Chain A
Amino acid sequence: MKAFSLSLRIAWVHLIAKKRQTLVAMLGVTFGISMFIVMISFMSGVNDYLMDLALDGSPHVHIYNPVKIERPALASSVYDTSKTWIKVHHQRPKLEQTKIRNGQKIVGEIKLMPEVSRVSPSLSSQVFFNNGPLQFSGTMLGIDIETENEMYKLYEKMETGSIEKMLTNREGILLGENLAKKLNVNVGDRVNLSAPAGGSFMLKVVGTFSFGMTLIDETRCYVSIQTAQKILGKPANYFTDINIKLKDYNKSQQLTKQFETMFGYKAEDWQEANASILAGEVIRNTLTYVVAITMLVVAGFGIYNIMNMTVVNKMRDIAILKATGFESKDIVSIFLFQSVIIGISGAMIGVILGAGISYGIDQIPFPARELIKLETFPVTYNVKHYGMAIFFGFLTTLFAGYFPSKKASKIDPVAIIRG
């Protein structure tokens, strides 16, 4: 312990004697650490934002009945297919309803599962909105307003009007913000829409919503499931989708498989539905870590160079210390202490600077408001990232300092003193 405090004392005197050099090395670490924090905070802010968007906007598991294009040719039931090739060109799909049979029973069963938090049957269909002579296509979702509201926090997405009116007004419709603009309607106005199978209906706009994603805000509208059934001319047990929110969204993949085997319908988890967003996340993370760690490595090289220089400048001192009885480990600790002091103080300032810059970025308004709904650049403040920055910063300085220190300890005092 005493030997360490002596090494520390010598290290400190060396650092103080070369203030400018020490400061430059420290700033290298400070810059590396702060940029590391800024980049990771910003990137994980973006990732978290997109993840929230994905989780808010889509169910954890979505069960539906896909249109089957490929089906075995009729001829294959007559011929032995292992011996005969059957090729049907340009096969047409069967007229098949996309409804989920036994839907009510399935919903009831899913509801009883312990992992499930909410189940909502819904009905989706393409519709056309008529605005004078023009028609816009859109997606109509017939939903159970209350459940859907809880699942997707629709009330948070409301721009104008209120979701409660949907409960009292059977003819009510909620329009995506951009869709409402295209149709030039406001709350209280009526819109005319027609179903693919024919017939047109007048509905009353009770609110507009915005998910922050153009694709949704430009095409989606919500009506109650009963209204949707009426528009499509279907009976009351007709629905096409079952949306499920789980208590733990990480279990979605496992449950998706279970649902598929249980009910025989296609089930899709939120990862699959948002594959592009999640793939982007991996790329962004990789890029961020590569750049951030490169910065630390560059800072490490800075320390390595400066420590090497110090060792060369201090050869005589090292020789004299060894001659008067200092052991190799004392010499190593003298120089290692120097780089660790540079590393720790640089990292501390870097953490403060990094948090400051992150906060600054957090305040910058996000320019492209049309595309995604975001007021300022997203930034997360995660203690883990700060800990990681300090840890990696410390590790780089330790590495950068170790090799010059080792070199110092190997100096042959005789060679230096004899000249």
Chain B
Amino acid sequence: MISISAKNITKYFHEPTTFKVLKDLNFEVNKGEFVSLVGKSGCGKSTLLYILSTMDTDYEGSLILNGENVTGKGQDELSRFRNNHLGFVFQFHFLLPEFSVLENVMLPAMKLSKYSNNEIEHRAIEKLRLVGMDEYALKSAGKLSGGQQQRVAIARALINDPAVIMGDEPTGNLDKQNSMIVLDILKKLAVENHQTIITVTHDHDFAKQTDRTIEMEDGKIIN
């Protein structure tokens, strides 16, 4: 089953001058596949990821995520789609510092409001256990270390059981040991939960551990 299907994706940057960042990209990712996007700085891999994430809608071509055509949908509809089907892990952990670890994980689920608050809390603790952060549940998110915050961010990405998890250099800011922990968690998700994972990375050791590596250069997929 195909999880991500990108057809003829083309994108321009208009500042400072018009420049073609992505040139007619076509690729597919299967469900449960762990894919890494690699390439030199400025090759367009992050730009591609943000198009795949549905947050950037300024592109040409068509994008089908989890069987649903997301190209041309409105911002609010895309928000709901992300809430339901996508999970994100960013380079700089990006937790809400005033909230507790538990609340950070619960927020996207409370937004989705598929479950009662009690159930959401239960599920959130489960996800935190998965990333080994359950004992920090009631701590303030702002007080955790970078590696810990990144693990909480993964738990948050998982809370609504998304079909696709996207990472923008999720280990880019972490030391070797924490990187390995994050990698292991992601691998486990792909294998055990059949969740599709696509991450941008600079780290070749990280890329080697994934199922497939898509290499980009000058806005094209070369491998």
Contact = CB atoms under 8 A, between A and B. Distances in A.
A329 B88 contact: no
B96 A418 contact: no
Given A329-B76, A414-B56, A324 B111 contact: yes
A320 B89 CA distance: 10
B183 interface: no
Contact of B99 (A13, A319, A325): A13
B55 interface: yes
Interface residues of A, number: 28
B95 to A, nearest CB: 8
A83 B107 CA distance: 95
Contacts of B79: 322, 325-328
Interface string B82-124: 1110001010101110110000000110111100000000000
Given A14-B98, A330-B111, A418-B50, A325 B90 contact: no
B168 interface: yes
B147 to A, nearest CB: 18
B55 to A, nearest CB: 5
A6 B96 CA distance: 14
A92 interface: no
Nearest to B50: A414
A323 B56 contact: no
Contacts of B108: 324-325
A325 B113 CA distance: 12
Nearest to A413: B55
A70 to B, nearest CB: 78
Interface string B196-211: 0000000000000000
Contacts of B193: none
B156 interface: yes
A316 B93 CA distance: 11
Nearest to B54: A323
A67 interface: no
Nearest to B166: A323
Contact of A327 (B50, B56, B80): B80
A272 interface: no
A413 B82 CA distance: 13
Contacts of B95: 320
Contacts of A317: 96
Nearest to B95: A320
Interface in A259-317: 316-317
B162 to A, nearest CB: 10
Interface in A383-419: 412-414, 417-419
B75 interface: yes
Interface string B152-168: 00001000100000001
Interface in B40-57: 46, 50, 53, 55-56
Interface in A1-40: 2-3, 6, 10, 13-14, 16-17
B55 A414 contact: yes
B46 A316 contact: no
B82 A417 contact: no
A324 B55 contact: no
A417 B50 CA distance: 10
Contact of A316 (B50, B94, B99): B94
A5 to B, nearest CB: 9
A320 B50 contact: no
Interface string B47-82: 000100101100000000000000000011001101
B88 A323 contact: yes
A19 to B, nearest CB: 12
Contacts of A316: 94
A417 B111 contact: no
B53 A320 contact: no
26 contacts: A2-B113, A6-B111, A13-B98, A13-B99, A316-B94, A317-B96, A322-B55, A323-B53, A323-B55, A323-B88, A324-B82, A324-B83, A324-B88, A325-B79, A325-B108, A325-B111, A325-B160, A327-B80, A329-B76, A330-B111, A412-B55, A414-B50, A414-B55, A417-B90, A417-B168, A418-B168
Given A2-B113, A6-B107, 15 more contacts: A13-B98, A16-B98, A317-B96, A319-B94, A320-B94, A323-B55, A323-B90, A324-B88, A324-B108, A325-B80, A325-B82, A327-B80, A417-B55, A417-B168, A418-B168
Lowest 5 CB-CB distances: which A-B pairs, in order? A325-B83, A17-B98, A324-B108, A327-B76, A327-B79
